[in-house]
Amino acid sequence: MATTTATTRATTELLERLREQIVALDQTGVEQTTLEALAAGASAQEIISGGLGPGMEAVGKRFEEGDFFVPELLLSARAMQSALDLLRPHLERSADTSPGTIVLGTVQGDVHEIGKNIVAIVLAADGFDVHDLGEDVPPQEFLDKANELGADVVGMSALISLAVSKMAETVAMLRESDFKGRVIVGGAALTRESAEQIGADAFAADAWEALGNVRSLIQEVAS
């Protein structure tokens, strides 16, 4: 019991340090602390949800307040991305057969990719066949890939408000086509309400909610 408490305290401190190091744009520190947190028994999910993610939120706040500019955003994103590379092997594929095919991307006009990349890693770790189209993806590309692969689910990310209209356009194009699957959306520019308004089947606030929702959507498609 005493050991568990000590481990939890160590993890909490490491996650706090990770948040600070993201804001300090300290890539080497972020990498070291990520490895330390894994060694201390923290899961990849805890490290992302409790350390890296909140660190990026704090960076966003600094940007809003005028303390940070685009170069700082880029440096924080680079630190986050290299931590994700370290975590990837700890979210290894858990199934031999794929429960479904997902086409994923950030919509046209938006280059934010980190959140979408986390969703891709988490879904792939659960065995899904994930086709990541990258960022700034035009509606037609989502449509072509989804139909070519007979995708079960199309997942789209948007972080800038201006890109939400492109997402709506993509959903409309998918609905008008032969696409028989479901659509899930996410990213800081969306809410549950706006996701519904643009005609998506589901919304997720983070990658783990995305996983649960994708599983349910796939069941719907299969039945």
Binding-site ranges for ligand B12 (CB under 6 A)? 53, 56-57, 59-60, 63-64, 70, 73-74, 76-77, 109-116, 118-119, 155-157, 159-161, 184-189, 204, 206-207, 210
Please say which residue, 14 or 120, places its beta carbon nearer to ligand B12.
Answer: 120
Instruction: Kindly write down the DSSP assignment for every residue of 117-167, as one continuous string.
Output: HHHHHHHHHTT-EEEE--SSB-HHHHHHHHHHHT-SEEEEE--SGGGHHHH
Please say which residue, 17 or 182, places its beta carbon nearer to ligand B12.
Answer: 182
CB of 5 to ligand B12, least distance (A): 28
CB of 87 to ligand B12, least distance (A): 12
Please say which residue, 70 or 222, places its beta carbon nearer to ligand B12.
Answer: 70
The span from the CA of 53 to the CA of 34, in Å, is 13
The span from the CA of 105 to the CA of 166, in Å, is 12
Please say which residue, 181 or 187, places its beta carbon nearer to ligand B12.
Answer: 187
CB of 36 to ligand B12, least distance (A): 21
Query: Residue 99 has which token pair?
Result: 């429960």
Torsion of CA 180, 119, 66, 33, to 10 degrees: 180
Please say which residue, 10 or 211, places its beta carbon nearer to ligand B12.
Answer: 211
CB of 205 to ligand B12, least distance (A): 6
The span from the CA of 25 to the CA of 29, in Å, is 9
CB of 1 to ligand B12, least distance (A): 32
Q: For the chain, what is the radius of gyration of the CA atoms?
A: 18
User: What are the residues facing 202 on neighbouring strands?
Assistant: 184
